[in-house]
Amino acid sequence: MKFRYYSALTQIILVGFICFLCPGMFNAVNGMGGGGQLDPTAGNNANTALYSTFVVFGILGGAIVNLAGVRYTIFGSGFMYALYSASYIYLNHKADGSFTIAAGALLGVGAGILWAAQGMIMVSYPREEEKGKYIAIFWVIFNLGGMLGGILPFAINYHSEKDSLSDGVYIAFVVLECLGAILGLALAPPAKVTRSDGSSVVLVKYTNVVREAIEILKLFINPLMLGLLPMCFTSNFFYTYQFNNINAALFNIRTRGFNNIFYWGSQMVGAFAISFLLDSPRFSRRKRGFLAFGIVFVFFNAIWGGSLALHNKYPEGIESGKRLDFKDSKHASGPIILYVVCGIADALYQSLAYWIIGSLSNNNQKLSRYAGFYKGMQSFGAAIAWQLDIKIPALNQLIANWALFGASIPSMLYVIWMIKDHSEDTVKPDEISDSANEKEVATA
């Protein structure tokens, strides 16, 4: 039993359930468009504040996790998700978005640290030939949260005529997010975790602030990290368009929840399906990367082409008319299917991105910084996208999303080309720690 608890797989499952309860519930709120409000302004401004602080603490998150450890950083970060959901209860009663915006900024701090810890666990704990599978396991559990978060507003608002979420939905989110934060304390110290072959995840001495500061700065002159930058920037940019200009603009409140059940459910399917290719022993790691990229390329061009066709049908959304309901299959089925395929495409993109990062190293300290860099630059793009939604017409946002994906292609191909079949991370003899198993910190 002890070995099972300290196994990499158990820890991946645990962090999956933490993200199921915290970021998963946040995704459910965000996926409703405008945080589940009729007027998306407060939600958009809160997301801009969130991703602005996320940029900084995403980049610093890897260093913070390396210095403070995974359990307490995730524990503290999880409560920031609960605070954010609670702020919408205040918004419902006071119609004042200032608290929601402030809560968004605080959530950016917590989320940056949490996702750096999550990324480190997900891509450094598995063996090289299992990374695609472990990413898929995490993504399936995590997106169960988004599915549950879609079921809650769908069920609670089924007979509601309002176009905003009720207090009861937000209270349910707060309770679940608090449980997720507490679950963070159940994670094992990385120094005690073993891979499926019995090897230890952690081998070397405790890090320090000076070393972490230097290593963070070096990320910005690392050719591979710079090559990943366009991919990182683009990887959450499209959420704003999908959530606000498809789901929120076209559908009534209960159908938004209905759509999110399948949007996040389809992510589980996409992540699971691509994992077989990413771990396939039939191809070299570089070839697997190129094949997976080809699949992502096809899906993203398909969803942006479909989005353009949908935009031409509803150029201004349904702002002045009655929004679509899932029971009106004649009119709603096409947009719903497109939204679901967007979910599959997102899972394919994120799985490939994490797999690429995991292929660059097996060193969990490096990977915590790489994951933090990915989330930081991802948040930079998201912060811009949420603010643009307030000022830029939907068609221009669509064109920007399609163009950004195209611009990221050359550098993505460059990084995939640089992937080796095995990541050799050497450790100097004087760095090996006899007491590593007693340490909470994520050192490597």
- Cα–Cα dist 102/90, whole Å: 12
Task: Give the model's pLDDT for residue 166.
Answer: 72
Q: What is the pLDDT of residues 79-94, one digit of tens each?
A: 999 999 999 888 888 8
Helices marked H in 157-252: 167-183, 209-218, 223-234, 238-242, 249-250
- Closest residue by Cα to residue 29 from 139, 134, 128, 172: 172
Share of residues in the chain with pLDDT > 90 (%): 43
432 beta partners: 204
Mean pLDDT confidence for 231-247? 90
- Quick check: is 319 in a domain? yes
* Res. 326 pLDDT band, cuts 50 70 90: confident
Mean pLDDT confidence for 122-143? 90
The contacts of residue 189 (CB under 8 Å, 6+ apart) are 69, 70, 71, 437, 439, 440, 441
Task: Give the model's pLDDT for residue 442.
Answer: 39
Contact indicator for 319, 238 with CB cutoff of 8 Å: no
- Quick check: is 151 in a domain? yes
Mean pLDDT confidence for 310-326? 74
Task: Give the model's pLDDT for residue 397.
Answer: 93
Domain that holds residue 12: 2-438
Share of residues in the chain with pLDDT > 70 (%): 87
- Quick check: is 90 in a domain? yes
Integer-rounded Cα Rg, in Å, for the chain is 21
Contact indicator for 303, 379 with CB cutoff of 8 Å: no
Looking at per-residue pLDDT, the higher value among 270 and 69 belongs to: 270
- Cα–Cα dist 122/8, whole Å: 9
**Number of domains within the chain:** 1
- Quick check: is 175 in a domain? yes
Contact indicator for 90, 96 with CB cutoff of 8 Å: yes
| Cα 440 to Cα 103, 181, 193, 297, 369, distances in angstroms | 29, 18, 11, 41, 17
- Quick check: is 302 in a domain? yes
* Res. 438 pLDDT band, cuts 50 70 90: very low
- Residue 9 CA to chain centroid, in angstroms? 20
- Quick check: is 444 in a domain? no
- Cα–Cα dist 65/75, whole Å: 12
Check which CATH number belongs to the domain holding 180 and give it: 1.20.1250.20
- Cα–Cα dist 348/272, whole Å: 9
Mean pLDDT confidence for 54-82? 90
* Res. 150 pLDDT band, cuts 50 70 90: confident
Is the pLDDT score of 316 beyond 90? no
Is the pLDDT score of 429 beyond 60? no
Is the pLDDT score of 435 beyond 60? no
